[in-house]
Chains A and B, each alone.
Chain A
């Protein structure tokens, strides 16, 4: 083995060591940017781009790039080098592309290497690198290195898209439940989406991390799901409710928690729902006080009340935004957590 070969093997080894960390994210955009950076620094090229196949596998479009590249660049199916490389499942290099039939293939580029990105079963797209820094030709070691990147990238992209499909499926199912709920009562149409919006704004202003905000979103979307068990006549009554009807309505947080009990991963979401009508001073249904009440429930409580005050309800008149804000402030420290109210005010009076 020559020193140069040795050096190449060692370069590849170090790349493989780095790569597991590089692609440990679940964001597809982020993975694509990292592929570009890694390709540029490892192969030593001036230009790199990641292309994805569209859903019909008819077009390759640009996902990320650096260097001499047009962000809107697309390649239709059966168009030369890149598609051939995907079909062949291996990299191909063109050192003097100007002297070949592909001279106009990508304007402004004189040498080019393409490497397909494959998932477990289907093609994802391709990595294109062009023009080495020292104007060298592409070596066989370069194709090995780019293969190492694309193999790992393919798996990482596949994982990330499975994850986002699952996430979409989850949110989709939750929205179906919400629709089922809202179909039972004309008073509450749109309430869930608005409460979700307000909760998330408050949560963001309180500096919650993404993971907590995701849970708060689910919690807000499902907070009234227990009303699915409340008799329709009560939900749709156009006049004031009597005491037994109120008792029936008051059961919805606990019923909601019971309905969702099977979702073991949602323990804190369920607690948020169960306690969203608790009062900061301990005068709610379960008598929990201050920090005993889960944070999600405390946020939800403010968002829920604000929307109830500013919407038409059979049992109360609609308030103006200003009056509703005043009412929330009045109940800060008794019904509501003052810290949540503070964040709410930042949102309501920016």
Chain B
């Protein structure tokens, strides 16, 4: 089973993504804090990480840089979630190796399609 780690400080976003992915038979680990996320990613080696940009303590973009800077993890694709209308950030996100940049509010259905497209459908 494919495995996705989702990190967002908004609990309802986590619930919604978890529900959507689990129904499509994709394993999900949700984290409400970014603080320990790097350790969890290192331990779990997910097929995909979905990150919120704006989180207290450690922002999504910093966490993204840590993942992309780690030779064992740098191949893991990253989706970045963020509030609508921050065009300049998209450039930064893409430069940091984000493979999909998704603005909130997003369609849960198309998020699932993007996940399936990226990690395959096993």
Q: Which residues in window 10-36 of B have CB below 8 A to A?
A: 12, 15-16, 18-20
Question: Which secondary structure dominates chain A's binding surface?
Answer: helix
Contact A6 B109 (CB under 8 A): no
Residue B39 CB within 8 A of the other chain: no
Query: Contact at A17–B105, with CB atoms within 8 Å?
Result: yes
On chain B, which size bracket covers the interface?
10 to 19
Interface residues of A in 195-246 (CB under 8 A from B): none
Quick check: is A266 within 8 A (CB to CB) of the other chain?
no
Q: Is there contact, CB below 8 Å, between A17 and B84?
A: yes
**Could you tell me which residues of chain A, from 10 to 42, have a CB within 8 Å of some CB in chain B?**
10-11, 13-15, 17, 41-42
Determine the distance from Cα of A7 to Cα of B105 in the docked complex, in whole angstroms: 11
A247 interfacial contact with B, CB 8 Å: no
Chain B residues with CB under 8 A of A42: 107, 109
Q: How far is the CA of A11 from the CA of B112 in the complex (A)?
A: 12
Contact A15 B109 (CB under 8 A): no
Q: Is the CB of A6 within 8 A of B12?
A: yes
Interface size of A by CB at 8 A reads 13
Among A6, A13, A14, residue most surrounded by chain B Cβ atoms (within 10 Å): A14
B27 CB to closest chain A CB (Å) equals: 17
B38 close to chain A: CB less than 8 A:
no
Which of B15, B104, B110 contacts A3, CB < 8 Å?
Answer: B15
A7 touches B110 (CB 8 A): no
CB of A14 within 8 A of CB of B16, answer no
Contact partner of A10 (CB less than 8 A), chosen from B18, B84, B108, is: B108
- Using CB atoms and an 8 Å cutoff, list the residues of chain A in contact with chain B: 3-4, 6-7, 10-11, 13-15, 17, 41-42, 44
